[in-house]
């Protein structure tokens, strides 16, 4: 009887671990009127081209971007992005475009980001 409480406690703990949402990394790059939001699963290989693209984009853009990082649950992220990984582009608080998909290369991501921002300048 003594061990049954311990067994139940361990069982509840293990079940709770199985149903918790995965942690999602959200990286904000804000500068001037633009905000780029990278949404990707923590420690996921698909995040690497997106992060590399953000860093390359930062170097080539005339805007200066400041980076901040936040961890969220998948439940919290689904309100802002349907597809993970993705970069959401906002201008003055309004979404003007996004780049998403697991099979994109760094060059494809940078090209799409440039296209989104050039369309805004027209």
Cβ burial of 9 (10 Å; 0-12, 13-18, 19+) is exposed
The mean pLDDT value of the chain amounts to 79
Write down all domains in the chain, each with its CATH number in brackets: 24-121 (3.40.30)
Q: Categorize the per-residue pLDDT at 56 as very low, low, confident or very high, splitting at 50, 70 and 90.
A: confident
Q: What does the pLDDT read at residue 46?
A: 75
Tell me: the pLDDT tens digits for 77-106?
655 556 788 999 998 888 999 999 888 999
> Does residue 20 have a pLDDT over 60?
no
Chain-centre distance of CA 82, in angstroms?
11
What integer is the mean pLDDT of 6-35?
72
């Amino acid at each position: 009887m003594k061990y049954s409480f311990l067994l139940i406690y361990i069982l509840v703990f293990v079940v709770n671990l199985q149903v918790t949402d995965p942690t999602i990394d959200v990286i904000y790059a804000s500068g001037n009127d633009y905000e780029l939001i990278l949404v990707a699963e923590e420690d996921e290989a698909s995040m690497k081209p997106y992060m590399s693209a953000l860093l390359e984009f930062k170097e080539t853009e005339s805007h200066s971007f400041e980076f901040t990082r936040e961890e969220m649950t998948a439940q919290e992220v689904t309100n802002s992005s349907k597809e993970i990984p993705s970069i959401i582009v906002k201008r003055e608080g309004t979404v003007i475009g996004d780049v998403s998909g697991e099979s994109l290369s760094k060059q494809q991501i940078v090209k799409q980001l440039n296209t989104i921002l050039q369309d805004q300048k027209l």
